[in-house]
Each structure stands twice: as structure tokens, then as C-alpha cells.
Amino acid sequence: MRNLLRRRCISTCMAVLAVGVLAGGCDWAQFAGGYSHTGDSSGEIFVTPANVSTMTSTFSTVPLSLNGEDFIAGQATIVNGVMYVVGADGNLYAYDASGSNNCSGTPTTCAPLWTASLGGAYGANETTPAVANGVVYVTSTTGTSASTATIYAFDAAGKTDCSGSPTVCAPLWTAGVNTTTGGDLTVANGMLYALSGGVMEVFDANGTVDCSGTPKTCSPMWTTTDVGGGNTVTISGGVAYVLGGTGTTVYAFDAAGHTNCTGTPAVCSPLRTYTTQYTAVGIPVVSGSTLYVNTYEISGTAGNPTLDGGLEAFDATGSTKCSGTPVVCTPLWLSSSTYASPEPPVVANGDVYVDAGSIAAFSASGTTGCSGTPKVCSPLWTTSAGGGGSLTVGGSVLYDTVSGHALYAFDATGVNGCTNAVCSPLWSRTNLGGSSSDIIPGQWTSIANDGTLYVSAFAETQNGSQIVINGLVDAFRVP
């Protein structure tokens, strides 16, 4: 029955894809699930608060340890039954996401279906592959400098420009960028968005417009004015949101590169800006008509630090609490500084979740538990464990991974395992592996449409008097 349900879910997703619209929950196609970076796979129906305690490891990738590097950089991306990850050794790896092809042994370990070099001896930035329309996009630092990088586009099927046994792929096209600000690539509506220094550069995701030569290289179709910083671009409602370098500004640009754009190639100015009360960190997240930003400031001394910041919510449409020429927006509501977090918030099921010491769930609409002027919201519930890591939501289950410590699962609705608005884990793991190694959680999790949870991890093995640490991905499912 479970396999039948999985087939129905996959068939539904494929039917949606056929008409050109990707529904939430079909794939984890880029950082935090999609180009709005909400961090949820809300269409996932297999893992629930009732059965999450039965989750077990079904397979893991062969530990990576090349050129002295030893970890998975960024989240795993899962699209059309293939999992893509970037190793800190500067390579892209593609695996069978079901744990079948190129997999063997007990416990099951999987070798890559194909690999690709990202060209840099320095290794990769912490980057999550982005996949769209049969192409996987990755950015990697090059040479021995972390200030320059190359965008690589590969055939996601591992066929075109791929050869050998084992299969190694060459890029379909590349582009050079400045990555002093880092960040992941974002793909939406046929465009590839990257931060180059403090400038957003936008490329033709098909590798056609402004692309030439053999091997093919691409230039931006259009760019933006310098915002002085940035991280990962967020796309929603035809708008591109970028965190600025001033620390208290989020910039909104026309994602199509038309409005407020001049010149050839076009350079675009912001449609509006959003001013936060404290230093904005992480990545802007948009769900519906609301823009969410975490702010985080530490002041004082090392022995007596003061923490300020919190979750701040804005009108993403640029109407409510927005005024002036140029338009500047201020928060609709915010949380207290008790819930300041350097990690991006996650939005799902009408709630917004923040990982700040403990996890706190707020009403995403800023209604329940909110009062005052300016409006300040209290959490609907918090957790007794977890905190200090990164969050993802699959259906009605909230996962928290604290790098080097533990992996937790909670009821995302704040009901099961909760007493007096404080929730305890329904499931947790500290050692993800078997007796042959000590596998501890890394920083990232991703969720596929069939409920599989992919966890970046570290495998510790003893080699004489030396402890060797390798990077891998561990996959969990309910029976």
C-alpha cells in the first residue's frame, strides 16, 4: 500500500510538471526546497507525528574524503529520483535517491551514479545544487581564492557531455562570478540568479542568451545596482529579494529585469526596500504575501554579551506599512529578542518557525499571540530540546538538526508530545550509523516527496591513534 501511495504521489507531481507548474512537496529542487526558500515540503504525507518514531536509516552515501576535505557542503537536492550533493573536495555527486542503483552491503551504502569536477583546488563554497528543467546548477570557488567563483551547469540526467566508467560529466556551460558574499544559486522562470559581490547577476538558465564559445560561457542578461552584500536570492510573486550589506536593509527588484531597469545590458534599481530594526541575517523567506527576515545582533563583551534581534515580518507586496519615494517598508510585526536566530526561518502550515536556543513557532499571519504598537508576537509554542541548528518541515513533522549533536523531530502543529505549549521530541538520533562508525548529524536536512529525510552527516572512524572524519548523506524513512 505504501509503495502504491508513493507511486500516486510521484504520478501527481509529474502531472503537475507537465503543465509547467511545480507544486510544493514534489521535489526539493534548491536551497530550502524552492526559490521562495520556505524550508517546507508541505505535500509530504508519509511521515506523521504518529509514525515518525519508527524512522530508520535505509542507506547512506559512501563517505567522501578527497584532497583532505571531509564534509558535505550545503543541503542535498532531490529531483526526479536523483540526489545531488556538493562535497567540500570540490566535486558534484549524483546518487540514486531511492538507495537502489550503485548501492550494496549491509548497512546499505551507495556510490555515485555520476560525478563532476567543480574545478577548484580550494574546494566548494557551502553550496546547495539547484535543479530545474533537466539542468543542475552549482557554484564553486576556483583556484586558491575564495573571492572568485564559477557557475557550472550540468545535464541533470548525467548523459550529455558525460562519459567514462564511472561516469564523469563536463559542464554544459559556465559563468564567472565574484563570491565575496557567498550564497546559493536560485532558479525561477527560466532565469538563474546569483550574487556576485554586492550585485545580483541574472543569467539565462537555458544557457542560450548571452552565451557563446566552445566550451560555452555565459554573461549576465541583466544585473542590479550594488547593494553592498547579499547571500541567496529569494523569488516570489515576480519579485527578487536580496539581503543588503548595510545589515538592516532587504532590497526588492523586478525579478524579470524590466521595471526600474535601464541601459544595455540592463542595470536594475530596487522597486522598494525593507528596513529591519536589527541586523538582518541568513536569507529572506517569502510565503504568500509576507516577507520574513531573522535579525541577530551581539553586543557587549565576551564575558557579558547582549543579544538583540528576532523575527521580523513585512508586507511582501509593498503596500501595508510602506511609504515614500522610493518606497520603504517597516515591519508588520516582530518577535522579542528572546528569539533572535542567525538561521533562516521556516514557514509551513500557517506557522513560522525560528531556531533560537529552543525552537519557537509563531502565527505566520501575525494574529494569534500578538499585541501592542509596534506589534510584538509571542510564540504559540516552544520546544524543550533542539535549538541552535537548522529547520525543515515535511508535512506535519518539524525536523531540527544541530550540527555535531543530534537530529530531532517534533509535531509541527504543536499538539503531540506537547504540554503547556512546550513540545518534546517525538524522535531523536545522535548516532546515525552502525557499530562500525560513529555517524553524527551535520547541519543540513532535505525532504523528498516520498517522505525520505536526507541528513548531511559526519562519519568518525578510528585509524590507529587518529580519528578520521568523512562526510556523507544518511537517508531515513518510516517502514
- For 274, the enclosing helix (H) or strand (E) is strand 272-275
Is the per-residue pLDDT at 337 higher than 70? yes
User: What is the predicted pLDDT for the residue at 467?
Assistant: 53
Which tens digit of pLDDT belongs to each residue from 101-118? 999 998 899 999 999 988
User: What is the predicted pLDDT for the residue at 379?
Assistant: 96
Report d(CA 462, CA 479) in Å as an integer: 32
Give me 39's grid cell: 524550508
Greater confidence (347 vs 471) lies with 347
Which tens digit of pLDDT belongs to each residue from 389-403? 789 999 999 999 876
Work out the mean pLDDT of the chain and round it to a whole number. Answer: 84
- Within 13 Å and on the Cβ side, how many CA atoms surround 61? 29
Give me 80's grid cell: 526526479
Q: Exposed, middle or buried by CB within 10 Å (0-12, 13-18, 19+), for 431?
A: middle
**DSSP tag of 345:** P
Domain coverage including residue 238: 2-477
User: What is the predicted pLDDT for the residue at 24?
Assistant: 34
CATH code, domain carrying 406: 2.130.10.10
Report d(CA 143, CA 264) in Å as an integer: 31
> Taking the CA atoms of the chain, what radius of gyration do you get in angstroms?
22
Which tens digit of pLDDT belongs to each residue from 225-284? 998 877 799 999 999 999 987 789 999 999 999 999 999 999 999 999 999 999 998 899
User: What is the predicted pLDDT for the residue at 62?
Assistant: 79
* Structural domains counted in the chain: 1
Q: Exposed, middle or buried by CB within 10 Å (0-12, 13-18, 19+), for 282?
A: buried
Which has the minimum average pLDDT: 144-153, 273-282, 350-359?
A: 144-153
User: What is the predicted pLDDT for the residue at 15?
Assistant: 30
Alpha helices by DSSP H, listed for 210-300, are none
* Mean pLDDT in residue range 86-97: 87
88 to 116, 120, 406: CA distances (angstroms): 13, 10, 22
* Mean pLDDT in residue range 444-463: 77
Which band of pLDDT confidence, cut at 50, 70 and 90, is reported for residue 9?
very low
User: What is the predicted pLDDT for the residue at 144?
Assistant: 52
